[in-house]
């Protein structure tokens, strides 16, 4: 599925890192002064004269060693900070159970698509696993989680990579595409519905059939995304009322 985290401008160095850089600079200067003074004192006490060449060499080489070690440490720290920041960014935009985009990321991406153009064609589906409470009652919460992960895996297998796929809450999922071919979109969702129903979840208690209902809607002109989602949700309700394990299109 299409990555959802919007690109961000690279932030400046965090305050803690800036403080470490200043401290490292001060350490290098201090090491230079200390090294030159120490070598000058040593040469004077040993030979009664100051070895200026040796003093200058010590003033340069020792701080270089200190600086190399310090900056190697800072580079490692910077990499760790960037890795932590990337992980926090990923967690902020993804569902921890399924690994799909979360509601926040999905709504942000839909809004970005819609804002690109008032005439931007969008097709959207809201999916809801059928009788999910019964699944939890029969298989326990671990079984319920396994059903969600199973459905997410089917989404990854069946849905094109450039479509938006997200878990938006509980047993509810969102699928969207930037397309004006609503018939092809609906056919793809119908294929997904059939594949999910025909692929049981294997559990310690035996195979468990997972099914889902879908509500579909196509964007009308410059329709706001929240209105588009509402119409798809209404169609989903109609699919539930009509017996579940089916798709319904919004009026």
pLDDT tens, the chain, 251 aa long: 433 333 333 344 456 656 666 666 666 666 665 665 565 555 556 655 545 555 555 555 556 666 666 666 666 666 676 666 655 565 567 999 999 999 999 999 999 999 988 888 999 999 999 999 999 998 999 999 999 999 999 999 999 999 999 999 999 999 999 999 999 999 999 999 999 999 999 998 899 999 999 999 999 988 999 999 999 999 999 999 999 999 999 98
Summarize pLDDT for 13-30 with one digit per residue, the tens. 456 656 666 666 666 666
CA-wise closest residue to 197 among 127, 124, 134, 136: 127
Q: Count of CB atoms within 10 A of residue 1's CB?
A: 17
d(CA 195, CA 96): 24
pLDDT of residue 22: 62
pLDDT of residue 7: 33
- Is CATH 3.30.70.270 what the domain over 103-249 is classified as, yes or no? yes
d(CA 185, CA 54): 78
Annotated active-site residue in 82, 87, 171, 223: 171
Helix 103-116 to helix 52-93 angle (10° resolution) is 90
Catalytic residue check, 248: no
Question: Is-contact 212 129, C-beta < 8 A?
Answer: yes
Helix 225-241 to helix 103-116 angle (10° resolution) is 120
Q: Where are the beta strands (DSSP E) in the chain?
A: 123-129, 164-169, 172-177, 201-203, 206-208, 212-218, 247-249
**Under DSSP, is residue 244 helix (H, G, I), strand (E, B) or coil?**
coil
pLDDT of residue 147: 96
């Amino acid at each position: 599925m299409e990555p959802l985290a919007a690109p961000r401008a690279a932030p400046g160095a965090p305050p803690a890192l800036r403080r470490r850089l200043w401290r490292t600079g001060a350490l290098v200067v201090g090491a230079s002064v200390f090294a030159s003074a120490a070598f000058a004192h040593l040469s004077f006490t040993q030979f009664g004269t100051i070895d200026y060449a040796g003093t200058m060499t010590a003033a340069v080489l020792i701080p270089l060693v200190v600086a190399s070690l310090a900056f190697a440490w800072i580079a490692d720290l910077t990499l760790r900070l960037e890795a932590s920041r990337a992980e926090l960014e990923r967690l902020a935009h993804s569902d921890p159970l399924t690994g799909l985009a979360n509601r926040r990321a999905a709504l942000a991406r839909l809004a970005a698509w819609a804002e690109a153009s008032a005439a931007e064609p969008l097709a959207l589906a809201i999916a809801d696993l059928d009788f999910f409470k019964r699944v939890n009652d029969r298989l326990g919460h671990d079984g319920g989680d396994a059903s969600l992960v199973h459905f997410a895996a089917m989404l990854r297998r069946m849905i094109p990579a450039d479509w938006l796929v997200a878990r938006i809450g509980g047993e509810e999922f969102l699928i969207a595409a930037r397309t004006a071919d609503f018939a092809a979109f609906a056919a793809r969702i119908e294929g997904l519905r059939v594949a999910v129903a025909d692929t049981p979840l294997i559990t310690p208690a035996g195979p468990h059939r997972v099914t889902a209902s879908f509500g579909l809607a196509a964007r009308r002109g410059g329709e706001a995304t929240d209105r588009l989602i509402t119409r798809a949700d209404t169609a989903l309700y109609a699919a539930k009322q009509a017996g579940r394990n089916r798709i319904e299109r919004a009026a």
